[in-house]
Every structure is written in structure tokens, then in C-alpha cells.
Copies of this chain bind each other. A is one copy, B any other.
Amino acid sequence: MTSSDFCVGDPSLPRGPQGYACKDPAKVTTDYFVYTGFRGEKTPNNVFGNNVTLAFSNVFPAFNGLGISMARLDFVVGGVIPIHSHRTSEVLILVKGSIIAGFIDTNNTAYYNRLEIGDVMVFPQAMVHFQINVGKTPATAYVSLNGANPALQLTPTSLFAGNLPANIAQKITLLSRKEVMQMQRIFGAA
């Protein structure tokens, strides 16, 4: 009897609302349960000064159906993960450097803290949050999210890096036309 204790995702089969269909368990070896993509050094090279390595279920199919996922965050000095949100809650553990992490609730209250190595911070479900390397060295953190496909929605790129017209972006943010154009330039969308 093949196992139905897990459902390693098979992206070649139709996806459903709860995730991928399961790879034939008879073909699932122990290696499927280990993700090695966090090994080694990660070099941030984007405008934010971060490197985000996502281990969501599309990257690590063993997470499929298990309601959990991870990501590794690397920051240059002064690097930042810009304001963003997920469908889920998130917990972060800092393993290198020193960062400020925070979230904002629906009363517009920001809760932010400076974290040291070994510190854990939790970001409640769907609330926008951010991390900034405020130390004098690069920083690294791991985050876990209680969903296999938790979504990473970066507010700045949502507004300025995709196909949203500038006039709509301006209207729904109250930003100036000039600033919207500048942001689109930063993200190469204008």
C-alpha cells in the first residue's frame, strides 16, 4: 500500500485550490523531504539590498499539503525587505547580524523592534511588515510561514513594477504623479 501520509506535489498534474496533486508515493524517496537550497552564501544584488530565497511548495514540493513553508532572508549592510504581506502568519529567527523588524496593524500602529542573534519575532496573519538591516555587518534570517503557498506580496513592486497604470497607482495611493513615475523608473516599468 502506498502512503497517504504526505502529498509531495507533482507540478505536472493539475493544481487544485489546496495545492498540487500528489506525486506517486511509490516514487517518493527520502531526498524529497530535504531542501538544500539554503546552503552557502547568498549575495543580495537588487535595489533593496536583499536576497530572498523562497522555499514555498512550488520550489520544495514536500511542503505541499502540509501547511508550512520557509524562506531565507539575506541583507547587505543597510539592506531591507520592503513592506510586504502574506496570506499567513510568519515567524522570523535572526541568525546573523542585527535588524529592525516590524509590522503595522489595522489601527496604523507599528510594532517594531531591534533584534539580536537568536531573537524570534512573529508577524500576525496578513499584516504588512518589513525588515531592515541596521547593523554594521550583513544579516541573515530564516522565516517560517504557516501555509505551503503563503504568497509574498511586496507593496512597492505590486504598485510600480507590474502592469498597473500610473494614473491608477497615483489615484489609489495619493502619491504625486512625479513620485509614481520615479518609482516606476526604479522598477523598470516605465
Q: A-side interface residues toward B, CB under 8 Å? A: 1-7, 10, 13-22, 29-31, 33-36, 38-40, 47-48, 55, 58, 60, 62-70, 80-83, 85-91, 93, 95, 100, 102-113, 115-128, 130, 132, 142, 144-146, 149, 151-153, 155-159, 161-164, 168, 171-176, 179, 182-183, 186
Contact = CB atoms under 8 A, between A and B. Distances in A.
A166 to B, nearest CB: 12
Nearest to A155: B155
Contacts of A158: 83, 104, 106, 108, 128
A40 to B, nearest CB: 7
A171 B66 contact: no
Nearest to A38: B118
A93 B22 CA distance: 24
B30 A111 contact: yes
Contact of A38 (B63, B85, B93): B93
Most buried by B among A13, A127, A158: A158
Contact of A3 (B18, B33, B106, B118): B106
Nearest to A167: B132
A119 B17 contact: no
Contact of A132 (B10, B93, B149, B168): B168
A120 B71 CA distance: 10
Contact of A31 (B80, B105, B113, B168): B113
Most buried by B among A17, A33, A68: A17
B15 A104 contact: no
